[in-house]
A and B are shown apart, each in its own frame.
Chain A
């Protein structure tokens, strides 16, 4: 499985090549990958259904307790199955939806990478691994929202989605670190057995806040919900996949996964159920104000995510059962509805539901699919959505906590959602035919297959909910860390939930009838809405830009000498503080020095002093060179040939580079004033003095075991080399060296870019072009 996921990334990178071979059929070929994964998962089903957990162990960084181990229990299986199944359908759909699009290969690369990240996220057992995949989904989502990168609105939405989710991701990382500290393990499975220890831990509250921040931003909970409707700037297959069926559920998944470890406490129950209920109600309320079919669906997704969070907060077995059924139902119908929305957009050229009508004649199959899926969204029998909603209401009625707040909100959400479903299913397809920007035709097979299958599954599971018993049972067991017997049924008899459903049906129908008038009335609330959380986000972002501008102007003077002074002063402050106040250095010092050593030291001092007083740059460079070569000489005297050679070569190349740079500079315009010189002298003298003190303190104190002893002893047996310096560089500390290599490469790119663009500017200016400053 790990190979499939990691291999998936490789496949993603090979898409441009595949595109050359298969052309327009690439998406279909690519769909084989998630289809194979789905088939494999299906083959594992008997094991999962038996309530067992499948472990796929894989060491990654054993030294840091980071593993790539995958854990497949009911919960992970359900998510992985949804991801790979809907992924297959979305790929098929996207192949037709973006048919002939210039950037189709790029789209396929990113969406495949996303698919694999998402699979990794739901299967990972290790916190670090989960986090890595978590961030990967944020980044791929960013690239997908901004797919139409020539559109400024899409770019802005992509950035917003990225900032919100990655900001939450940072909090999540902090939460994970605290979680691992408190639970003494990086493995989710182990943490889930240590619930008591975690809940009693002093870090419980801070870590819970951090984890919840991460989950809430990802799953678009109030007040972070605003990024999700904006993310609809993405092509519709992306909205169907990432922003309804999978990625936004990652936060909910995480909460479900951590439920045994963190759930059930008072802060957990209060936060989750209230935030969830609020999100649910505001999502449904905001949905009915919009006429863009994608925005409408996006807000109803916000509502569904809120419902899921709320159910996790309540946390009773009934609520968890409702959670699983609702999750499954939502993924099925919302995926289908988004694909239908894409078909409408694709075929009619508009997304405004008020501009469409009577399309059932032109596209009967689409209309049928839309109606079935919308029935499930509305929570009407005999669809899976109905069972989910009934279970939810039932668990809310049984829940003792905050029923007075949650129940009215749930009822509000239920009838508003019903109205939304009616709008989506009835407005475009029934009533008189309306003229749309392009003449509607029935969608192609590839585009219809996905939504049709999803809608059919909604219907099938609704009619025969027994099929789901073992799946839901295994998943609930995964969340609740126990075993659960679940029996789903369509008909629960005449009870309170059913009556509530009937009432919401009536109210929903009323809202639908008066929808246009209601919208006009709600439009008056616009000024109030403009002050919502999104305005807060905007204020935060522009404030950050202002702050950055201010501090850049304050700190970045552009003069190297100022940077040097600041850097040295900070160094002086920190190191000096630690050295003088924390350790009183005991310095034993014996002057035992040969004549030639004194000569080398004298040359060094002479070089440094003359570099400071020279009035010509070239002479100063030469003086610095003298100092460098004397240092190399010192290395030779103290038998460090490697260092000496390096110093010599670096010195030579520095002189070459400096000469090249100096040639381009004008003569010194002004020399430092005496006061500035005095200041520089003070800084330089203090730094030199500090380093000298530091060296003496290090040499005279034997506080720590010398690390070089280990290197000397192990260089040959472990590193198979006699040159200790080199063994350290390429073996013992190779990871550090690799980092240095990247730094060096980055520095070279920086130099190149800076000089090249500079030169181009000159050239362009001479040629009479005026380059716009904002595109450089």
Chain B
């Protein structure tokens, strides 16, 4: 079923994907103060990849993102757990939020942000894992 579709879908997927990814990063970074956040951003990015997948197929998607979606899940979980640890350094309870201001670009970095990036990766990775797995079995069926 997932074969390269129409010309319009192909072009749209190619153009929309970078935009969607940028938008998802935007949502991710502004999430603490404005509507957004890791969960939503992850879903937006997953949507972009899903569109690409429909247009070009699994192999093309795999070639483009290079890492396995399951690794994204793993890295996400790792980041989530890692963000709980810096509090220990200051002798505070597990998970206490830590804030740093990066000097040059005046950006508020924090453990909640790291945690949010973890959420982002887990959501993105999980959705992609499910979708690519579904497409894979389709192809296995097609090859029969």
Contact = CB atoms under 8 A, between A and B. Distances in A.
A596 to B, nearest CB: 21
A747 B130 CA distance: 9
Contact of B43 (A62, A646, A731): A646
A656 B73 contact: no
A625 to B, nearest CB: 14
A578 interface: no
B13 interface: no
A751 B133 contact: yes
A650 B43 CA distance: 7
Nearest to A641: B35
Interface string B110-137: 1011011011001101110111011111
Contacts of A663: 1, 138
A763 B122 CA distance: 30
Interface in B26-82: 31-40, 43-44, 46-47, 50, 69-70, 73-74, 76-77, 80-81
Nearest to B79: A741
A749 interface: yes
A207 to B, nearest CB: 29
A722 B116 CA distance: 15
A325 interface: no
Contacts of A660: 131, 134-135, 138
Interface in A642-666: 642, 645-646, 649-650, 652-653, 656-657, 660-661, 663-664
B3 interface: no
Interface in A290-349: none
Interface stretch (A229-237, A584-592, A614-622, A752-760): A752-760
Contact of A744 (B74, B112, B122, B133): B122
A726 interface: yes
Interface string A529-546: 000000000000000000
A63 interface: yes
A711 to B, nearest CB: 14
Contacts of A734: 84, 95, 112, 115
B39 A729 contact: yes
Given A642-B37, A660-B135, A756-B133, A730 B70 contact: no
Given A61-B94, A737-B119, A759-B136, A645 B76 contact: no
A653 B39 contact: no
A646 B93 contact: no
B115 A737 contact: yes
A763 B135 CA distance: 15
A727 interface: yes
A763 B119 contact: no
A653 B35 CA distance: 19
B99 A762 contact: no
A722 B119 contact: no
A508 B129 CA distance: 68
Contacts, number: 156
A766 interface: yes
Contacts of B136: 755-756, 759
A735 interface: yes
Given A726-B31, A744-B126, A756-B136, A720 B108 contact: yes
B9 interface: no
A749 B130 CA distance: 8
B141 interface: yes
A726 B115 contact: no
Contacts of B91: 59
B144 interface: yes
A751 B31 contact: no
A440 interface: no
B36 A759 contact: no
B134 A755 contact: yes
Of A62, A723, A758, A763, most B-chain CB atoms within 10 Å? A723
A500 interface: no
B97 interface: yes
A742 B33 contact: no
B34 A731 contact: no
A725 interface: yes
Interface residues of B, number: 56
Contacts of B94: 60-61
Of B118, B135, B136, B140, most A-chain CB atoms within 10 Å? B140
Contact of B95 (A656, A735, A744, A755): A735
A748 interface: yes
- Chain A's interface size range is 35 or more
Of B130, B135, B136, most A-chain CB atoms within 10 Å? B130
A357 interface: no
A664 B138 contact: yes
B62 to A, nearest CB: 14
Contacts of A580: none
Contacts of A726: 31-32, 36-37, 116
Contacts of B39: 646, 729
B30 to A, nearest CB: 8
A759 B99 contact: no
A437 interface: no
A228 to B, nearest CB: 36
Contacts of A749: 70, 73, 129
A206 interface: no
B46 A653 contact: yes
B110 A653 contact: no
Contacts of B33: 721-723
A195 interface: no
Nearest to B42: A649
Contact of B34 (A62, A722, A758): A722
B86 to A, nearest CB: 13
Contacts of A719: 32, 97, 112
B1 to A, nearest CB: 5
Given A653-B50, A751-B129, A721 B81 contact: no
Contact of A741 (B1, B43, B122): B122
Contacts of A752: 70, 129-130, 133
B18 to A, nearest CB: 18
Contacts of A721: 32-33, 112
Contacts of B112: 719, 721, 727, 730-731, 734
A56 to B, nearest CB: 15
A575 interface: no
A758 B115 contact: no
Interface in A480-530: none
Given A719-B97, A723-B31, A723-B34, A745 B43 contact: no
A744 to B, nearest CB: 5
Contacts of A731: 97, 112
Contact of B137 (A735, A759, A766): A759
Of B99, B116, B137, most A-chain CB atoms within 10 Å? B137
Interface string A44-87: 00000000000000011111000000000000000000000000
A729 B138 contact: no
A741 B119 contact: yes
Contact of A653 (B70, B97, B127): B127
B118 to A, nearest CB: 7
B44 A723 contact: no
Given A738-B80, A741-B76, A745-B77, A645 B35 contact: yes
Given A722-B33, A726-B36, A748-B129, A762 B144 contact: yes
Please list the 5 inter-chain residue pairs (A to B) with the smallest Cβ-Cβ separation, ordered nearest first.
A748-B126, A721-B32, A649-B43, A641-B35, A759-B140
21 contacts: A61-B94, A642-B35, A645-B35, A656-B47, A657-B134, A660-B138, A720-B97, A720-B110, A723-B33, A726-B116, A727-B112, A729-B38, A734-B112, A734-B115, A737-B115, A738-B81, A745-B76, A748-B70, A748-B125, A751-B129, A751-B133
Given A649-B44, A730-B115, A738-B80, 4 more contacts: A653-B127, A663-B1, A664-B138, A766-B144
Interface of A: 59-63, 641-642, 645-646, 649-650, 652-653, 656-657, 660-661, 663-664, 719-723, 725-727, 729-731, 734-735, 737-738, 741-742, 744-745, 747-749, 751-752, 755-756, 758-759, 762-763, 766
